[in-house]
Structure 1
Protein backbone atom coordinates (compact mmCIF):
# COMPACT_ATOMS: atom_id res chain seq x y z
CA UNK A 1 0.00 0.00 0.00
CA UNK A 2 1.45 3.34 -1.03
CA UNK A 3 0.27 5.18 2.07
CA UNK A 4 2.05 2.70 4.36
CA UNK A 5 5.50 3.67 3.04
CA UNK A 6 7.58 5.56 5.60
CA UNK A 7 9.15 7.81 2.95
CA UNK A 8 6.72 8.50 0.14
CA UNK A 9 9.28 10.72 -1.59
CA UNK A 10 11.60 7.73 -2.11
CA UNK A 11 11.30 6.41 -5.67
CA UNK A 12 8.92 3.48 -6.15
CA UNK A 13 9.61 1.57 -9.36
CA UNK A 14 6.86 -0.57 -10.88
CA UNK A 15 8.30 -2.99 -13.42
CA UNK A 16 5.73 -4.17 -15.98
CA UNK A 17 6.71 -7.72 -16.96
CA UNK A 18 3.79 -9.12 -18.84
CA UNK A 19 0.24 -8.82 -20.06
CA UNK A 20 -1.46 -11.97 -18.74
CA UNK A 21 -3.95 -9.81 -16.82
CA UNK A 22 -4.70 -7.78 -19.94
CA UNK A 23 -3.19 -5.41 -22.44
CA UNK A 24 -3.70 -2.35 -20.22
CA UNK A 25 -2.57 -1.52 -16.70
CA UNK A 26 -5.01 0.78 -14.94
CA UNK A 27 -3.30 3.00 -12.40
CA UNK A 28 -5.46 5.01 -10.02
CA UNK A 29 -4.63 8.71 -10.19
CA UNK A 30 -4.29 8.69 -6.40
CA UNK A 31 -1.28 6.39 -6.77
CA UNK A 32 0.40 8.97 -8.99
CA UNK A 33 -0.30 11.74 -6.49
CA UNK A 34 0.70 9.68 -3.42
CA UNK A 35 4.11 8.45 -4.49
CA UNK A 36 7.12 9.14 -6.64
CA UNK A 37 6.10 6.35 -8.99
CA UNK A 38 8.20 5.25 -11.94
CA UNK A 39 6.80 2.75 -14.44
CA UNK A 40 9.27 0.81 -16.58
CA UNK A 41 8.97 -2.04 -19.02
CA UNK A 42 10.96 -5.24 -19.03
CA UNK A 43 10.83 -6.24 -22.68
CA UNK A 44 13.83 -6.54 -24.95
CA UNK A 45 13.51 -2.91 -26.03
CA UNK A 46 13.57 -1.59 -22.46
CA UNK A 47 17.28 -2.29 -21.94
CA UNK A 48 19.96 -0.91 -24.26
CA UNK A 49 21.88 -3.73 -26.01
CA UNK A 50 25.21 -2.60 -24.46
CA UNK A 51 23.75 -2.88 -20.93
CA UNK A 52 22.21 -6.27 -21.69
CA UNK A 53 25.50 -7.55 -23.13
CA UNK A 54 27.48 -6.21 -20.17
CA UNK A 55 25.37 -8.27 -17.73
CA UNK A 56 25.56 -11.57 -19.64
CA UNK A 57 28.90 -12.84 -18.26
CA UNK A 58 27.82 -12.40 -14.63
CA UNK A 59 24.42 -13.94 -15.35
CA UNK A 60 25.98 -16.92 -17.13
CA UNK A 61 28.37 -17.44 -14.21
CA UNK A 62 25.49 -17.36 -11.69
CA UNK A 63 23.56 -19.95 -13.72
CA UNK A 64 26.66 -22.15 -14.10
CA UNK A 65 27.41 -22.01 -10.37
CA UNK A 66 23.83 -22.88 -9.49
CA UNK A 67 23.10 -19.52 -7.86
CA UNK A 68 20.00 -19.25 -10.05
CA UNK A 69 17.55 -22.11 -10.38
CA UNK A 70 16.80 -22.27 -14.10
CA UNK A 71 13.95 -24.64 -14.85
CA UNK A 72 14.44 -25.48 -18.52
CA UNK A 73 14.61 -28.58 -20.69
CA UNK A 74 17.29 -28.86 -23.37
CA UNK A 75 15.86 -29.89 -26.74
CA UNK A 76 17.98 -30.70 -29.80
CA UNK A 77 17.45 -28.14 -32.56
CA UNK A 78 16.64 -31.01 -34.94
CA UNK A 79 13.49 -31.70 -32.84
CA UNK A 80 12.25 -28.11 -32.74
CA UNK A 81 9.03 -28.77 -34.70
CA UNK A 82 8.07 -31.67 -32.44
CA UNK A 83 8.88 -29.79 -29.23
CA UNK A 84 7.18 -26.59 -30.36
CA UNK A 85 3.92 -28.41 -31.13
CA UNK A 86 3.69 -29.84 -27.59
CA UNK A 87 2.17 -27.51 -25.02
CA UNK A 88 3.89 -28.74 -21.87
CA UNK A 89 4.26 -25.40 -20.10
CA UNK A 90 7.99 -26.09 -19.72
CA UNK A 91 10.68 -23.64 -20.69
CA UNK A 92 12.76 -25.11 -23.48
CA UNK A 93 16.26 -24.27 -24.65
CA UNK A 94 17.04 -25.39 -28.16
CA UNK A 95 20.62 -26.61 -28.58
CA UNK A 96 22.50 -27.38 -31.81
Structure 2
Protein backbone atom coordinates (compact mmCIF):
# COMPACT_ATOMS: atom_id res chain seq x y z
CA UNK A 1 0.00 0.00 0.00
CA UNK A 2 1.22 3.50 -0.74
CA UNK A 3 2.86 5.00 2.32
CA UNK A 4 3.08 1.56 3.99
CA UNK A 5 5.66 0.44 6.49
CA UNK A 6 8.02 -2.55 6.57
CA UNK A 7 9.23 -3.53 10.04
CA UNK A 8 12.19 -5.88 10.28
CA UNK A 9 12.23 -7.92 13.50
CA UNK A 10 15.06 -10.24 14.47
CA UNK A 11 17.47 -12.04 12.25
CA UNK A 12 16.76 -15.74 12.69
CA UNK A 13 16.72 -16.11 8.91
CA UNK A 14 20.11 -14.42 8.64
CA UNK A 15 21.80 -11.09 9.39
CA UNK A 16 21.09 -9.57 5.95
CA UNK A 17 17.95 -8.97 3.93
CA UNK A 18 17.79 -7.88 0.29
CA UNK A 19 15.00 -5.51 -0.68
CA UNK A 20 14.21 -4.15 -4.12
CA UNK A 21 14.49 -0.37 -3.90
CA UNK A 22 12.02 0.56 -6.67
CA UNK A 23 8.86 -0.56 -4.79
CA UNK A 24 10.09 1.18 -1.64
CA UNK A 25 10.66 4.46 -3.47
CA UNK A 26 7.64 4.12 -5.77
CA UNK A 27 5.18 3.48 -2.96
CA UNK A 28 6.83 5.85 -0.47
CA UNK A 29 7.34 3.03 2.04
CA UNK A 30 9.09 3.32 5.40
CA UNK A 31 11.56 0.65 6.52
CA UNK A 32 12.07 0.33 10.29
CA UNK A 33 14.18 -1.96 12.43
CA UNK A 34 13.27 -3.38 15.82
CA UNK A 35 15.35 -5.11 18.48
CA UNK A 36 13.80 -6.69 21.56
CA UNK A 37 16.64 -5.57 23.87
CA UNK A 38 15.34 -2.03 23.36
CA UNK A 39 11.81 -2.91 24.48
CA UNK A 40 10.82 -2.34 28.12
CA UNK A 41 10.58 -5.58 30.17
CA UNK A 42 6.79 -5.31 30.58
CA UNK A 43 6.30 -4.99 26.81
CA UNK A 44 8.57 -8.00 26.18
CA UNK A 45 6.77 -10.05 28.87
CA UNK A 46 3.34 -9.20 27.41
CA UNK A 47 4.46 -10.08 23.87
CA UNK A 48 5.92 -13.38 25.10
CA UNK A 49 2.69 -14.21 26.98
CA UNK A 50 0.60 -13.53 23.87
CA UNK A 51 2.97 -15.57 21.70
CA UNK A 52 2.68 -18.54 24.08
CA UNK A 53 -1.12 -18.23 24.03
CA UNK A 54 -1.11 -18.32 20.21
CA UNK A 55 1.23 -21.34 20.21
CA UNK A 56 -0.91 -23.20 22.77
CA UNK A 57 -4.03 -22.53 20.68
CA UNK A 58 -2.32 -23.88 17.55
CA UNK A 59 -2.26 -20.52 15.78
CA UNK A 60 1.53 -20.33 15.67
CA UNK A 61 3.67 -22.85 13.87
CA UNK A 62 7.39 -23.13 13.19
CA UNK A 63 8.61 -25.05 10.18
CA UNK A 64 11.01 -27.59 11.67
CA UNK A 65 12.38 -31.09 11.37
CA UNK A 66 12.70 -33.60 14.20
CA UNK A 67 15.86 -35.70 14.35
CA UNK A 68 16.46 -38.68 16.67
CA UNK A 69 19.10 -37.95 19.31
CA UNK A 70 21.25 -40.84 18.07
CA UNK A 71 21.63 -38.91 14.77
CA UNK A 72 22.92 -35.75 16.46
CA UNK A 73 26.11 -35.65 14.35
CA UNK A 74 24.04 -35.72 11.17
CA UNK A 75 21.79 -32.99 12.58
CA UNK A 76 24.80 -30.74 13.27
CA UNK A 77 26.06 -31.28 9.72
CA UNK A 78 22.67 -30.35 8.27
CA UNK A 79 22.42 -27.34 10.55
CA UNK A 80 25.85 -26.14 9.39
CA UNK A 81 24.88 -26.62 5.74
CA UNK A 82 21.46 -24.95 6.15
CA UNK A 83 21.74 -22.49 9.08
CA UNK A 84 18.19 -21.16 8.69
CA UNK A 85 16.66 -24.63 9.12
CA UNK A 86 15.12 -25.43 12.49
CA UNK A 87 16.04 -28.86 13.85
CA UNK A 88 14.64 -30.40 17.04
CA UNK A 89 16.46 -33.35 18.64
CA UNK A 90 14.16 -35.95 20.19
CA UNK A 91 15.03 -38.93 22.43
TM-score (norm 2): 0.49
Higher relative contact order (CA 8 A, sep 6+): 2
Q: Which has the larger radius of gyration?
A: 1
TM-score (norm 1): 0.47
